[in-house]
Structure 1
């Protein structure tokens, strides 16, 4: 006769307690607290994440790339990043019954518990914090432009860019306390509408202005080496423009999912709509802007457009509203990371005061960096190449090859390897050119001017 030992009720009780605590934490963290988003949430979140400061720098990027290479790189980037975004949407629920709600969770599944964190988290943090800094610079510069346009014929006091960045940041000290992605849906909708609006104003005003009499399409740079370095920097600017991948799994995590209706169906529908909007913003702005101004176009197309004053002021206001939403979209995964570490690793209690302190500290940190180093053009190229290229262009492909192991020299294998090679080239080359631009900007710059 076999005597069965009684079940260990204490052990079962502990398991139940741990599961209950885990659920409470997940219900509190920004990424997993709400899973009731519709497919159109995915559309406008992705538009807000992608169409940002980058679109205004695309005509300038074309002036550094030239017509042929510039158009080719824009189109190839659009196709490549749509493909890698599709891969990420597919991989979100590739393990039955499990969802990879965060980019680093997918990385851990592919590369291992520790290595996955080390590969993904540093890149994702650099991207998200870097983008938020660039958005603060963009918002501050756009506010200053509105002020300068309104005061053009009046005797207004000159106000430092630093103060405009601080004014712009003050909004985020309030908005950053919205708990999760779904709670910033209204901000995101407004931001997505604004992106289409100011992009339309940018290309329509350029078209109305007409091609300038002395326009030149010669590459920028006094020497061949300068032209090459500018070319490298422009690659980063383009990479920066196609940069929604860093938050795509986090956005998909907010969509409900069942075996009959997996989240990838709704998410992909939203992504396709978002990419159509991206094309409607990027291609007219870059092609018309460059054809009108040639190689004298500013690194922000709205700076080159000076008339009609009211319309350019309005476009800059639209940019301000848009980057308010974009900042929040990229900040939310950072808040999630910080709060996860504090609660799960350091055993802090999930309270309002914890969220209040950590989020305010994050906003204050990004503001400090933005007012210290507001080199808009150089920052786009540097962050675009150094951090965006891996997470956008080739890391999804490496994960795909590692998980699905397509047959060597098959279509899937070949396409992924082409993306990896092109992505690595962008990652290596663009920061070199961008660093040079930052150094040149720094020569004539005085801190907090």
Structure 2
């Protein structure tokens, strides 16, 4: 109720109370809305691949790597929160986006490099989410088909209609003007992520109780089940899966820009980041470990596909995944939408097609009219259609997203936050702190290279059996 009240003030208010000191619309976000945005971004469908990742690494390395990524992500995210305002964390000039922060603190060619990597990652994630959502919808359909036919019908089907359904939904939701108005969708998506994670965890626990033992080994999948070379490539790809599961830094500044002040945005964001990463790590550990304990070496890439019964509970979990991905898609795409729209406005400020807004009455008492912008509506719709088309063309694109996640982890989660923090805090070169930060950055670079190598090997295998638009399962 408290969040709704805050947003009602934003909707109803008139006069200067609606604007911040920089003339932009007053921010209404809080610790809870920021936490919801982060959890929505972090607990993606990637949680379902963690049992497979732990199966490649084993009982020792699997949880250890997951814990390591959580610590690194929290630490570098804390550094990044300090870069929301330039010079002073309380009164300095606000940086509205990740690239804006890089431009004001580092400048030069690094801005273009950061922007390219960030938006390429966000674009890749949107395609991966389209594929993942369609597969969950297909799983529901196939589950009911198999149940009704008693397992006699193979129930093969194409993923294309489900990708189109997801795309149409995203075209409608993409008309929501900005990040701050997505708070309700993020909270719903966060609830859904807990729902399917909890179901996956419960099914894993039930299976372990049913078989009466913990499967798996200390060193992961055994040679014999896979070859020595496959063991290495799979272990590398597992690092990429875990890295991708923790990647949200690319939208951290955008989330921080929704927070009201006082208190200082960095203080609220640090608390939200700590809570969110702690919660997601506990869920990741439980889901990943219980999934591995259930299936051992044969842990599936999507945990929920390993459980056949009760089919209605698996259906509920897959429905929750779809709803979550609907929200997560919007959270990840908003920075791209904002970037293109601001660029177009600055490039053609006199164009009425780009700048003019039409007011459409909203039949809900207390809500201001919806402002329709022709360029925004057309551009966002074209973007969603493009991601849907690529998803239909390359249904194995989740492997490519793994590459993007591996490559994006180092620059976006580690390198730029470390470099900006060093510059912002004027940390002297070759000092102990400078050396520690640089060593952390170098170590994460090596991990990203190894993870990307494993994902590339997976894509090469996919290409050997690739047929365009033949996403039949």
Structure 1, unpaired ranges of 5+ = 1-22
Alpha-carbon shift at residue 370 of structure 1 (Å) = 1.3
Instruction: Specify the SS of the correspondent of 2:147.
Output: coil
Distance of aligned partners of 1:82 and 1:214 in 2 relative to their CA distance in 1, 3 Å threshold: closer
Q: TM-score, normalised by structure 1?
A: 0.87
Alpha-carbon distance in 2 for matches of 1:65, 1:90:
35
Instruction: Specify the SS of the correspondent of 1:66.
Output: helix
Match of 2:75 among 61, 67, 83: 83
Alpha-carbon distance in 2 for matches of 1:198, 1:281:
11
Would the aligned equivalents of 1:143 and 1:164 in 2 still touch at CA under 8 Å? yes
Number of aligned residue pairs: give it.
419
Distance of aligned partners of 1:251 and 1:34 in 2 relative to their CA distance in 1, 3 Å threshold: farther
Q: Counterpart of 2:339?
A: 337
Structure 2, unpaired ranges of 5+ = 1-18, 357-372
Q: Deviations over 1:170-219 (max 9, x none)?
A: 21010000011122111111100111111111111111011758955443
Alpha-carbon shift at residue 165 of structure 1 (Å) = 1.4
Alpha-carbon distance in 1 for matches of 2:49, 2:431:
37
Alpha-carbon shift at residue 433 of structure 1 (Å) = 1.1
Alpha-carbon shift at residue 122 of structure 1 (Å) = 0.6
Name the stretch that deviates more: 211-220 or 305-314: 211-220
Match of 1:203 among 195, 201, 204: 201
Q: Counterpart of 2:187?
A: 189
Distance of aligned partners of 1:215 and 1:97 in 2 relative to their CA distance in 1, 3 Å threshold: closer
1:421 aligns with 2:442: yes
Would the aligned equivalents of 1:239 and 1:389 in 2 still touch at CA under 8 Å? no
Distance of aligned partners of 1:50 and 1:214 in 2 relative to their CA distance in 1, 3 Å threshold: closer
1:60 aligns with 2:52: yes
Instruction: Specify the SS of the correspondent of 1:152.
Output: helix
Match of 2:172 among 168, 171, 174: 174
1:439 aligns with 2:460: yes
Instruction: Specify the SS of the correspondent of 1:445.
Output: coil
Q: Counterpart of 1:128?
A: 122
Match of 1:43 among 26, 30, 35: 35
What's the C-alpha RMSD, in Å, of the aligned pairs? 2.3
Name the stretch that deviates more: 339-348 or 80-89: 339-348
Instruction: Specify the SS of the correspondent of 1:337.
Output: helix
Alpha-carbon distance in 2 for matches of 1:90, 1:174:
35
Q: Counterpart of 1:105?
A: 100
Match of 1:394 among 415, 422, 425: 415
1:237 aligns with 2:241: yes
Would the aligned equivalents of 1:242 and 1:392 in 2 still touch at CA under 8 Å? no
Would the aligned equivalents of 1:49 and 1:244 in 2 still touch at CA under 8 Å? yes
Alpha-carbon distance in 1 for matches of 2:435, 2:67:
19
Q: How does 1:9-408 map to 2 (within 5 A)?
A: 33-95=25-87, 96-112=91-107, 114-154=108-148, 158-210=156-208, 215-217=215-217, 218-219=220-221, 222-258=226-262, 261-347=263-349, 348=351, 349-351=354-356, 352-375=373-396, 378-407=399-428
Alpha-carbon distance in 2 for matches of 1:247, 1:292:
34
Q: Counterpart of 1:4?
A: none
Alpha-carbon distance in 2 for matches of 1:248, 1:94:
16
Alpha-carbon shift at residue 382 of structure 1 (Å) = 1.2
Name the stretch that deviates more: 218-227 or 246-255: 218-227
Name the stretch that deviates more: 403-412 or 145-154: 403-412
Alpha-carbon distance in 2 for matches of 1:77, 1:215:
24
Would the aligned equivalents of 2:410 and 2:441 in 1 still touch at CA under 8 Å? no
